[in-house]
Amino acid sequence: MRKLICICCLLMMTTNIQANDQETVSLSRCIDGDTAAFLVNGKEEKVRFLAINAPEYTKKKERYGKESSAYVCDKLEAAEAISLEYEPSNKRDKYDRLLAWVFVDGELLQEELVEEGLAEVKYIYGDYAYTDMLYEKEAVAKKQKLNMWSDEEDDPWYYITIAGIIVLMILVVLFKQKGKKRSLNRLSKELKKRI
């Protein structure tokens, strides 16, 4: 028996699996792409998803913020089971939100968001359980230019902005030329009077 326990411990160490406890919760409300409120032991708690940062779509509107928020909300609202897993090193952030890995029907939500290019790996303050896997998923999403990793030129607002700048420059040049013509007309009238 002792040998079996040692073998299991060795396997867990070599595969980088950490056996953190998971706590079953229920959704209270969606907030954005990296935060939600859950009922934890009968109390509503805001939970910040560990190790990721999603584009904003609450006060500030960032590219793919709407898509990230919608993805999270759809997943959480359709879930049959939601559980949180905490890192022993830190359980709350400076805003008193719980920090957790979020599992939806057994799948890690952070992994799905990073894999879809709807969040980036960020805010790593320790040796967290799933960060290596997240970095791998992020590299693939960047390579495939998924969502937030897509080129800026693919965004239609990029072209609209460039067109607006060009039109503005043309108008400035035209007004300057019109102003010069007026000045030349006045100058020629003054010269004719004096001659």
Q: Return the active site residues.
A: 48, 56, 97
Q: Which two tokens stand for residue 49?
A: 């998803």
Strand 22-30 to 98-104 pairing: unpaired
Sign of torsion over alpha carbons 98, 101, 102, 105? negative
Q: What is the DSSP letter of 60?
A: S
Element containing residue 23 per DSSP (H, E)? strand 22-30
Alpha-carbon distance of 178 to 184, in angstroms, equals: 10
Alpha-carbon distance of 97 to 123, in angstroms, equals: 14
Alpha-carbon distance of 102 to 115, in angstroms, equals: 15
Would you say 132 and 139 are in contact if contact means Cβ atoms under 8 Å apart?
A: no
Q: Which two tokens stand for residue 77?
A: 């609202």
